[in-house]
Structure 1
Amino acid sequence: MQDNINKDLFFFKKNLNVCEKKMQIFMKYIKLLDVYQTKVNLIGKSTRDKIWSRHILDSAQILKLLPNENKGYSIIDVGTGAGLPGLVLTILGRNDIILCENNYKKVIFLSAVIKECQLKVQIFKGKIESYKNKNTKIIVSRAFAPLKFLLKSIKHMTNADTILVIHKGEKYLEELELARKYYTFTAQCYDSITNPLAKIVKIKNIIELNE
């Protein structure tokens, strides 16, 4: 397993230039994840030996698709779970992230990471349907729900300025097609650097049909 982890770490460093200080924070994060993984399922056990590429690099790759920070708005990570991608984006320098998580045990883990790593990030404890912050303009999500259901869950907080950046698997076209039966939107698809079958989808101009 250690050989696989070392190879995975090499792949991570090859694709993302991270300073030593941030690498140490990532190490603390992974150490805490291993501790809490025994209490709550944070990541799939079969993906642990590829944590650097499968989870951290996969989360980090959306950084370049996000607008620059603006004090007038924030980013919310819907169904953040283990803090993916929200905590990764925070470690890499974003100071405008809000983590949305409804699972109490996962919230405890997230709080422990924030305290131990001294990160500037907020947690919204509850379902995204209950989130009311009107200053949130950007929504990210990695493994929350199919697009149709995600759009339904966030429709109370979307407007002409909303930007949605999400990770999608090989069935991304099917999800887009289904979602377009209920919403109009513009979508740009970008190749994932961690999975040749996956895409990062950036969605704008979301309008619910027959509203």
Structure 2
Amino acid sequence: MSGTSAFTGDVPRETLERLDIYAGLLRKWNPAINIVAPSTLDDLWTRHIADSLQIARLADPQGHWVDLGSGGGFPGVVIAIAHAESAAFSMTMIESDQRKATFIRTVLRETGISAKVIAERIESAPPQDADVLTARALAALPKLLDFSARHRKPDGLSLFPKGASWRDEIAEAERNWRFHYEASESTTNPGSVILKIGECTRG
């Protein structure tokens, strides 16, 4: 399986096999719908798959997870694959681009993964009452907190990967929000973090 050398033995073989199917489909579809930047394809396993997989490890594999602006499935598809054996886990992905939503559904079918895809705008999709909310490379933190207010349980958890300027985004968000957070260092992008945001209220 090409690219799986990016992982050590901590990823089950069944998971790697499904991720390999996903990677193959992405390479096949990418020229037509530009799922990821072509310049990142050579580093697909680290840049996108491993980067998404680390998010899956930051919360228990149970409850209703919702991934906003899933694009081609990062991190939603990767998380769904990682937690495929958990009976207490469910995943919903919201992606307004119909072509990318179709791609995600194709990946789910080809990998045998159960998940829901909502092909609507985040602002108009029905509130999801998520236990865990994720979004990767979607928007600045203040906007993500707006989305959280619509789609996450009040006592839920948000997991948002952020780049080197994450402290600036925290400061901007704190102008209108009160929230608790932890910053977990990214294992794939030096200087980047994954923000774990718990209780969050406007004010």
TM over 0.5: yes
Q: Does residue 195 of structure 2 align to residue 205 of structure 1?
A: no
Letter of the 1:125 partner, please give it.
A
Equivalent residue number for residue 186 of structure 1: 180
Offset at residue 26 of structure 1 (A) = 1.2
Conservation of the 8 A alpha-carbon contact between 1:29 and 1:113: yes
Letter of the 1:91 partner, please give it.
I
Please give the alpha-carbon distance, in whole angstroms, between the structure 1 residues aligned to 2:166 and 2:139.
12
Structure 1 consecutive aligned stretches of length 4 or more whose deviation exceeds 6 Å: none
Please give the alpha-carbon distance, in whole angstroms, between the structure 2 residues aligned to 1:158 and 1:110.
22
Q: Does residue 9 of structure 2 align to residue 19 of structure 1?
A: no
Conservation of the 8 A alpha-carbon contact between 1:129 and 1:154: no
Letter of the 2:190 partner, please give it.
P
Equivalent residue number for residue 153 of structure 1: 147
Offset at residue 173 of structure 1 (A) = 0.3
Q: Does residue 23 of structure 2 align to residue 33 of structure 1?
A: no
Q: Does residue 82 of structure 2 align to residue 88 of structure 1?
A: no
Equivalent residue number for residue 141 of structure 1: 135
TM-score w.r.t. structure 1 length? 0.88
Equivalent residue number for residue 35 of structure 2: 42
Distance change (3 Å), C-alpha of 1:157 and 1:116 = closer
Query: How many residues get paired?
Result: 199
Conservation of the 8 A alpha-carbon contact between 1:158 and 1:206: no
- The CA RMSD measured in Å over matched residues stands at 1.8
Q: Which runs of 5+ in 2 are unaligned?
A: none
Please give the alpha-carbon distance, in whole angstroms, between the structure 2 residues aligned to 1:58 and 1:134.
25
Correspondence for 1:55 among 48, 55, 63: 48
Conservation of the 8 A alpha-carbon contact between 1:164 and 1:202: yes
Equivalent residue number for residue 78 of structure 1: 68
TM-score w.r.t. structure 2 length? 0.91
Q: Which runs of 5+ in 1 are unaligned?
A: none
Identity of aligned residues (%): 26
What secondary structure does 2:57 align onto?
Answer: helix
